[in-house]
Amino acid sequence: MPPFIAPELILCMLQHLPPWSFDNLDNCALVCRSWTPHARSIIFREIRLSSAERIIKLIDLLTSPHETIAAAIKYINIEEGWFGDVFLRLGDGRLMKPDAGKILEALTRASERSLSCPKGVHGPQPFPIIGSASFVVMFLRDICSVLGTDSFVSAIGDLSPRRMGPYPVQIGGLIIEAWEDAAVFNALLLESGESLEELEFIVDGRRNSVFAYHDPETHIFPMFDFTHSTRLRKLHVSANKPHTYAFLLALLKNMTRTQSNTLQDLSLSGFVMPTNWFQRCATGIEDCYKILVDLAAVDTILQHPFFSSLQRITFGEFNCTFYGSEVTNQRLAGKTTFEHPDDDSLAAKQLSWTIERLKAGFEGSGKAGIVVPVVNVCYLGPVIGRGRCSCVDYDYTPQGYDCSDSDNSPDD
């Protein structure tokens, strides 16, 4: 039986010991066998792992008779590059190491602990996490990316994403950025089930993004399976694709396969572009903003029963600039920073005309009254000469301008 150390001596001993490295598990394992559970909880509160070998050492400790070690761990940080150690690279092929299944299974069984990965290990940056079981979301992308290979199946036996560990992944919200694997995302949706209530898509059109090279109608968005997301309340889609925005139609149409109708908040961001960045150069009030998605097609999809529960549709963003000479009413009142533009200004007329056109696009589905435009407003000084500005009397302050009709907008 290991010697017993009185609890009152624990802190005194720790003060005379050198600081332990987070990833130096060997020395900790040798020492902790003679220490009380209280001491173990101090030693193993935080652990940093940088290789598959250290993960195996941690697994050996967690499966040892010293159960207080496993209970003491509160935070585990797995550094960039650890997943590459799981593979044996042979030419162009990729085989799993014999202990790979043991590593992945042990990690998924720790789903109630707090684990993190500061950087991505392959390809695009993993998306941020909202909710519990944070580490499972981080690594599910890499784990599931090889689920179809024979080497992975032989390494982990009958282990499957749905059976990885005793705890399901309880995710309240997801932010998906630069996503490129529908199978991984569907596995995540399946695991989340009815716990998923908020979902955000950030679709990037940069060169290194998969979305920049594929037709969204035939590529990834129609493959998403939302049939298990029966309690989804909020959906936010943010786009930065200069060449096509057709993916939005494919995404919304695919969501109609869900049997429930719990969606209340739909937010569409990045679907408006000014046709002329200097609105004063325009000769009229029409066509100063370009809506980058087919509103008629969106309105048709929103007539599906799945969207009958919608209470709010935010659409934007409209970037608008008001000059000091165009807001005379506020200037006479002595204001220097304005929250609402003068209705008689050219920029306000251009903005109002576009918003009326936007809301009219949702009349077929009867949702024009819940459309809330998102407007980013800048106030500049009076115009001097040919379009040059001076900020003598007015602040150059970006303001959020809610152009919604208060009678039609639902309460938050």
What's the Rg (C-alpha) of the chain?
28
Express each pLDDT in 211-247 by its tens digit. 444 554 446 777 788 888 888 888 888 887 655 677 8
Confidence at residue 125, expressed as pLDDT on a 0 to 100 scale? 31
Percent of the chain that is helix, strand, coil (3-state, to 5): 35, 20, 45
Ramachandran region, residue 122 (left: φ > 0; alpha: ψ -120 to 50; beta: rest): beta
Q: What is the pLDDT of residue 312?
A: 94
Q: Are 276 and 295 in contact (CB under 8 A)?
A: no
Q: In 10 A of CB 64, how many CB atoms?
A: 13
* Residue closest to 338 by CA, chosen among 408, 400, 296, 281: 400
> Torsions phi, psi of 272, nearest 5?
-130, 135
Average pLDDT of span 73-101: 48
Which amino acid type is present at position 378? C
Q: Cβ atoms within 10 A of the Cβ of 50, count?
A: 16
27-51, pLDDT tens digit by residue?
Answer: 555 445 555 555 555 555 566 666 6
Q: State the Cα angle at 32 between 30 and 34, rounded to 5°.
A: 95
Those residues whose C-beta lies under 8 Å from the C-beta of residue 84, and which sit 6 or more positions away, are 121
pLDDT at 41: 55
Give pLDDT tens digits for 375-401. Answer: 877 766 554 443 333 332 223 233 333
**pTM above threshold 0.75:** no
Containing 95, the helix (H) or strand (E) segment is strand 93-96
Contacts of residue 284, Cβ cutoff 8 Å, sequence gap at least 6: none
SS3 47: strand
Question: How much is the mean pLDDT over the chain?
Answer: 60
Per DSSP, the residues of 194-208 read GG--EEEEEEE-STT
Q: Which residue has the tokens 């979301």?
A: 137
Cα 270 to its chain centre, rounded Å, is 16
